[in-house]
Amino acid sequence: MVNRRRVAVPPVPSGDAGVSPRDVAGTGMAETPPSAAGGILVAICSIGGAIVGLIQGQVTIGFLAGLAIGAAGAIAVWLRDSRR
């Protein structure tokens, strides 16, 4: 049997409550484009490095190499994104 607590949710105010001050002409879009995310590079390269390391018989070294490559890629994405 699962015990479920009921939590009161406050009502959503009507009007302009959902409009951000950075909203462009009431379109719901922000002035600045969303920032790029480089974390996926860290994840993919880490997994890829572990797979390559498994094939080579050196899983830890492959993982660490993939982690380093992914971190370098994430830093490059961050630097490129900060210049926008």
- 0.85 exceeded by the pTM? no
What are the extents of the domains in the chain? 39-82
Rounded to an integer, the average pLDDT of 33-47 is: 87
Confidence of residue 65 (pLDDT cuts 50, 70, 90): very high
pLDDT digits (tens, 9 = 90+) for 8-17: 666 655 555 5
pLDDT digits (tens, 9 = 90+) for 15-36: 555 555 555 555 666 567 777 7
Cα–Cα distance for residue pair 17/70, rounded to 1 Å:
40
Name 30's bridge partners: 23
Cα–Cα distance for residue pair 67/4, rounded to 1 Å:
41
Can you say whether residue 48 is alpha, beta or left, with left for phi > 0 and alpha for psi between -120 and 50 degrees? alpha
